[in-house]
Amino acid sequence: MKHRLLAGSLFVVVVLAGCSDRQPASPEAGAPSLQRHATQEQGDPAVLARMHEINAQLAVRGSNLFLNEVTAITIGQGRPANRLLQQQLRWVPNDPRRNAAGDNITYLVDLSDGATTSGLTAAQTDAAIDAALNTWNTTVSCSKVNIAENPDGGADPDIFDSFFGFGAFGNPFLADITEAGWLPGAFFDAVFGPGGADGVLAFSVSFIFVGGGGVPTDINNDQYFDTALNEVYYNDNFGSPGPRAANPWSINAPLPAIDVQTVGLHENGHSLSSGHFGPPPTAVMNPVYAGIRQALLPIDKTAHCAFYASWPNP
């Protein structure tokens, strides 16, 4: 997203013309690891339609990527998680398709869009996101995965924003997880429809790898689709003039301010394969923002252990 573009009408026209009858990719026929119920999509129909169109455009490009999940944290009323294929996703250690750094899972913070309209600098938001990833990396005793930061070298590291006219199609394999920065409210309205700018604090998008015919892959036979990349977007409408002026992004400030580290901790839980919980119970992975929550709760740790206690083995 190094060079933001204004969202135009072309994408909207294409979505309306091409999404209504498009079906998601089917799991590999006869492969026991790719369950038949995987094609039962769930979520907001309008968001799912946009996801289908993105996948159609990826297929035209000859890409081996498939957008499978769009999951948001909100303030006020929650929004459904959006998933096209219901099979769970996991990172594959040493996966050459994503330039894997061995057994590490890597992340990159895009500093070019790290500053907020509400007054935070890129250095401040970078430090808060680093703290969030460090929490996942160090406070779950059963986890054997190492989360490592790749420096921002200045290249465009993300792709999801490009489908809405808010950036170019970058190189998504500069890291496994890209913290794509703070984008304007218009981007969130484009993704989630009217109200997205005022309700969605941030969201995570997950892509999986597909093979011939758009069939999802499971190259290590662990019964999970292979995660290709994840991108996290933060909403700069909060703290900007308008309905959310009273909810600025902040560092360690209570409600009505929005704490960067808390939101980063939640969204990167999705990046690391965790879904939403409750409430109840209370958890970092609750879908609605409830104030500062910078430490993982037992249920967050249990979910993380389910994915990473045996890492790098299935």
pLDDT tens-digit profile of 163-198? Answer: 999 999 999 999 999 999 999 999 999 999 999 999
* Residue 178 in domain: yes
Rounded CA-CA distance 27/30 in Å is: 9
Rounded CA-CA distance 281/284 in Å is: 10
- SS3 assignment, position 113: helix
Rounded CA-CA distance 238/197 in Å is: 8
* Residue 131 in domain: yes
pTM: 0.90
pLDDT tens-digit profile of 89-109? Answer: 999 999 999 999 999 999 999
User: Which structure tokens are listed for 81?
Assistant: 């998680």
Domain enclosing residue 33, as ranges? 9-308
Identify the residue with better confidence: 212 or 168: 168
pLDDT tens-digit profile of 125-144? Answer: 999 999 999 999 999 999 99
* Residue 241 in domain: yes
pLDDT of residue 77: 87
- SS3 assignment, position 312: coil
Rounded CA-CA distance 1/187 in Å is: 12
Q: What percent of the chain has pLDDT over 90?
A: 83
pLDDT of residue 313: 86
* Residue 286 in domain: yes
* Residue 89 in domain: yes
Residue 223, C-beta contacts closer than 8 angstroms, at least 6 positions apart? 33, 88, 314
CATH number of the domain encompassing residue 203: 3.40.390.10
User: Which structure tokens are listed for 247?
Assistant: 């909810």
Count of domains observed in the chain: 1
* Residue 140 in domain: yes
pLDDT tens-digit profile of 3-30? Answer: 444 443 333 323 322 332 323 333 333 3
**pLDDT mean across residues, the chain:** 89
- SS3 assignment, position 230: strand
Closest CA to 242 of 185, 299, 286: 185
Q: What percent of the chain has pLDDT over 70?
A: 88
Query: What type of residue is 208?
Result: I
Rounded CA-CA distance 54/300 in Å is: 31
Q: Report the alpha-carbon angle 25-30-33, nearest 5.
A: 75
Query: What type of residue is 64?
Result: N
pLDDT of residue 10: 30
* Residue 1 in domain: no
pLDDT of residue 39: 64
If you ran DSSP here, which 8-state letter would residue 102 be given? T
**Whether 255 contacts 248, CB under 8 Å:** no
* Residue 43 in domain: yes
Q: At what angle do helices 45-60 and 9-18 cross, to 10 degrees?
A: 100
